[in-house]
Each structure stands twice: as structure tokens, then as C-alpha cells.
Amino acid sequence: MQHLWKVFLALIAGVILLIAFSGPKKENPAPAPAAAAPAPVETRQTLRKTTQNVLELSQALADGGVRAEMSIQSQGLEVAADAYRTSVGKMAVIAVEKSMQLYQAEHDRKPKDYAEFMAKIIQPGKPDGLQLPMLPYYQEYAYDPETQQLVVVEFPAKKEQRRKETTGASGL
């Protein structure tokens, strides 16, 4: 009890010092907005995941996509991932080709456009719709109405942005 006043005095001194050193608040002007940084690339799980997302090829190409190479190009440790990506894309193409053959046998023609392809082959949201294996975040499926085939489109900008996000500007 006799030292209680010392503790109380120390607390008051501490509060006074905090107030004294904090001083008046200076308003910092907001920095000028720089060019809008791109939103972080959203990665996604691919193993044992499926999708019914198929883009129109013309739109995918206009958005910066390029047709993906459907062969193993990597060396070293990346071969396994490259083999998985390639085989998943090829399996989806084969599944769509089979569905297209069945559709053609029934209707004497293939789907006439993207909308009919989505409604009759992929059938999004329907229980018997075609479920395609999920591709990595920088690849998407696209339908080419000229060749009437499913293709894999890669977005190099997404791949490069993700590389910069995870390795920094130095690329290390």
C-alpha cells in the first residue's frame, strides 16, 4: 500500500510522456495513385478437380491467350508437371471429341456454334454434363468453331505475373 502512490505516479508520468511525444497529428497527403496494379493472380487446385468453363476461342485470343503446346517441353523436375498438364488437356479433348461424335451420329451434324456446343456437349450445370479436368490457373479450355474442336489456351501474362508475384522482380 505504501508503494501504491509510486506506481500511480509512474503511470501518470507515462501517460504525460506519451501525449508529449505523440505531438499534433500531421496529415500526410495521400500519395498520387500510381497506375493500377493488376489484381493478384488467383491460382486454383487442379488435382481431382473438374470444370465446365469453356471460352470462345476468338475471345480467349483477344484476351491475350495463345494456343497451348500439347507436348512435353520441359526438362528436369518440371517434366512431371508438364506431363500432367499435357495429359489432362489431351484427355479433355478426347472426351469432347467422343461427345461430338455421339452428337453428330444422332443429329447428322456437329454443333453449329459456341452456344450450341455449350448447351449440347458441355451442358453446364446439368448432372449429365461433361466434366473436364481442371487446368492450371494460366490455362483455359476454348472452343474453336471453325475446326469444331476443343483446344487449350494459355495466358502467358498470367504466368509471368504469377512468377513475378512469387519470385519478386529479380526472378530469384
Q: What is the CA radius of gyration of the chain?
A: 29
DSSP string, 108-149: SS--SSHHHHIIIII-TTSTTS--EEPPPTTEEEEEETTTTE
Give pLDDT, residue 166: 82
User: Using one digit for the tens of pLDDT, what is the confidence trace for 49-75?
Assistant: 999 999 999 999 999 999 988 888 878
What backbone torsions phi and psi does residue 75 show, to the nearest 5 degrees? Answer: -135, 160
Q: Are 125 and 52 in contact (CB under 8 A)?
A: yes
- pTM, 2 dp: 0.72
C-alpha cell at 122: 458441355
User: Using one digit for the tens of pLDDT, what is the confidence trace for 78-101?
Assistant: 888 888 888 888 999 999 999 999
Identify the H or E element spanning 51: strand 50-51
Cβ-count burial 35-50 (b if 16+ within 10 Å, e if not): eeeeeebeeeebeeee
